[in-house]
Amino acid sequence: MKKFGTSLYGYNKEDVNNFVAEVIKEYESMLNNLKSANEENKKLINEIEHYKDMQGSFNKAILVAQDASTQIKKMAKDEYKTIVEDAKKNASRIVNDALLRAEKIERDSEELRRKTIILKRRLRQEIEASLESIEDIGEN
C-alpha cells in the first residue's frame, strides 16, 4: 500500500497525482491486455468454428465416399454376375454347337463308310464281270 506524504492542506498533491497517474497507466495497461485477450479469444473462437465446419464437411465427404464405395461394389458385383451368366450362356452355346458339329461329322462319316462299302461291291462286281468276260474270251 502506498503512503503519501502530508502537507499543509492534507496529502502532498504531487505524490497523489503521481500515484493517480501510475494507477491510470496500470489500468490502461490492464485494459489493453484485456482487449488483446478478448480479441485473441474471439479469433480462437472463430478458428474453432471454422474447424468445426471443416469437420462437418469432412464427415459429409466421408459419408459420400462410403456411399460411392458401396454403389461401386454393388455395380461391380452386378457386372460380375452378368459376365459369369454371359460366359455360361456362351459356353453352353459353344458346347451345343460342338455337339451338333460332332453329330454331323459322325453322320457324314457313316455316310462315307456306306458309300465306300457300296463302291467296293460295285468294283468287285465289275472286276468279277470283267474276269468272267476274260474267261469267256479264252474259251471261244
Rounded Cα–Cα distance for residues 97 and 83 (Å): 21
Q: What pTM was estimated for this model as a whole?
A: 0.45
pLDDT at 2 over 90: no
* Higher per-residue confidence, 48 vs 2: 48
Alpha-carbon distance 18 to 110, whole Å?
134
What residues contact residue 4 under an 8 Å CB cut-off, 6+ apart? 11, 12, 15, 16, 19
Q: How confident is the model at residue 4 (pLDDT cuts 50, 70, 90)?
A: low
pLDDT in tens, 29-82: 999 999 999 999 999 999 999 999 999 999 999 999 999 999 999 999 999 999
pLDDT tens column, 85-111:
999 999 999 999 999 999 999 999 999
Q: What angle do CA 119, 125, 130 make, to 5 degrees?
A: 125
